[in-house]
Amino acid sequence: MSETPLSETPLSETPLSIRAEALDARDTEDGLGKLRDRFSLPPGLVYLDGNSLGALPAAVPGRVADVVAREWGELLIRSWDESGWWTAPERIGDRIAPLVGAAPGRIVVGDSTSVNLFKALVGAARLAAATTDGGRDELLVDATTFPTDGYIAASAARMTGLKVVPVEPAAVPAALGPRTAAVLLNHVDYRTGRLHDLPGLTAAIRAAGALSVWDLCHSAGALPVDLEEHGVDLAVGCTYKYLNGGPGSPAYLYVAGRHQAGFDSPLPGWNSHADPFAMTPGYVPADGARRGRVGTPDILSMLALEAALDVWEGVSVADVRRKSLALTDFFLECVEAYVPGGKVETVTPAAHAERGSQVSLRTENASAVMRELIARGVVGDFRAPDVLRFGFTPLYVGFADAERAARTLGHIYG
């Protein structure tokens, strides 16, 4: 695919709608535009809420029907072996691994993001206690984090005797010290779309002798993460946003290879036992990613996710990132052209190095504005008290979608 950013077009003097059409035509010919056919989307709808719930991959309904009717209905319990149900958490983890720059055997799929975050934070605290002199009693937590992450961090801290220290991501290097056990950070801020410096912050955390725990919910599937390259210790993420796994699809837990033997999960279920069917009273943890399992996997959601991941066949995350930046650049240009001055304020950073795959705009009456956008066929979402969020999923969002969304927003204010 072309290395030239899609926003660099010689058609800059033409109307924005014509430019959008030309960009989409080019992207369909030699970019990601052709992948839209891999999804089922209502005709005429501009869907810019993939950062909350990804669109339905076209192959998923048939796969789920087969799982229900044949694997469950006919094979019944035999499907744990014959249909590969038992190995699904690790198998699907290996499907996600290349999308986040992880090696095989590092990711297990199952449970929710919150449950996996609890495992990761308690596991990080126990790793820190086992590998240091015991003087590390602080858990630094992203002060702008998604609320549930904060709740989970507070509970994990109570369990492990740590003290939660809220800190802005940019201030983490200065806040690190000999008392820091672990640091929880979001790769992309869910409100503003700001992309935080995972490589630099991870390096600083490692240099301070602490462990990094990253929440990838708003970055995995939208931009490169490169967990192994940057030495991340632990990470979690959901699969229903940019990975399009469906509502409530299972989340995942990443544990770096160097930590797997010492990872002590606070939820040691029978599924993570070294010999789960022996049913012994004593717990012996399994090797590798299986150590992150707990109870019986949610097979229907798990296999729907596996089918959803087929849309990534032949897709480069680098190409996804290029299109994401081109789309968000173009949307911001259209907003500036269509929306009367002073009506909205862009809170997403302009710099590509600091931008995820969403654009957030601050405005008065944001809830009412979003309801009107949705009524006019443009679906984004609202975050209290005054933020409009627009998520750009490059596998199915095009430049005409971006232009129409901005033009519709301008009409509302017009």
Quote the tokens at residue 165. Answer: 């220290």
Biggest CA–CA distance in the chain, Å, is 73
Cβ atoms of residues 162 and 137 within 8 Å: yes
Domain positions in the chain are: 16-58+316-413, 86-312
**CATH number of this structure's domain 86-312:** 3.40.640.10
Nearest C-alpha neighbor of 251 from the set 118, 83, 81: 118
What does the pLDDT look like over 144-169, one tens digit per residue? Answer: 999 999 999 999 999 999 999 999 99
Alpha helical stretches, state H, 110-243: 113-131, 147-160, 172-175, 198-207, 227-230
- Roughly how many angstroms between the first and final C-alpha of the chain, as a whole number? 39
The Cα 180–Cα 159 span in angstroms is 16
Residue 173: CB atoms within 10 Å: 16
Exposure of 275 in the CB half-sphere (CA atoms within 13 A): 5
Which of helix, strand or coil describes residue 1? coil
Residue 361 main-chain phi, psi, to 5 deg: -120, 135
Spell out the CATH class of 16-58+316-413: alpha beta
Quote the tokens at residue 156. Answer: 């994990």
Give CA angle at 284 (281, 290), nearest 5°.
Answer: 125
Phi/psi-derived region of residue 387, left when phi > 0, alpha when psi is between -120 and 50, beta in every other case = beta
Cα–Cα separations (whole angstroms), residue 410 to 45, 193, 342, 371, 413: 17, 22, 12, 14, 5
Which of helix, strand or coil describes residue 371? helix
Q: Supply the pTM of this predicted model.
A: 0.95
CA 119, distance to chain mean position in Å, is 18
Has 113 been labeled as part of a binding site? yes
pLDDT attached to residue 1: 36
The Cα 328–Cα 297 span in angstroms is 37
- CB-neighbour burial class of residue 26 (10 A; exposed 0-12, middle 13-18, buried 19+): middle
pLDDT attached to residue 14: 60
Has 187 been labeled as part of a binding site? no
Has 270 been labeled as part of a binding site? yes
pLDDT attached to residue 6: 43
pLDDT attached to residue 5: 43
Parts of the chain with a pLDDT under 70:
1-14
Has 148 been labeled as part of a binding site? yes
Has 30 been labeled as part of a binding site? no
The Cα 97–Cα 108 span in angstroms is 10
Has 146 been labeled as part of a binding site? yes
Has 240 been labeled as part of a binding site? yes
Has 352 been labeled as part of a binding site? no
Question: What is the DSSP annotation of 124-145?
Answer: HHHHHHHHS-S---EEEEETT-
Beta strands in 200-319 (DSSP E): 211-215, 234-237, 252-255
Has 218 been labeled as part of a binding site? yes
The Cα 194–Cα 347 span in angstroms is 9
pLDDT attached to residue 132: 73
Q: What share of the chain is helix, strand, coil (3-state, %, to 5)?
A: 45, 15, 40
Has 189 been labeled as part of a binding site? no
Cβ atoms of residues 338 and 410 within 8 Å: yes
Residues annotated as part of the active site: 146, 215, 240-241, 389
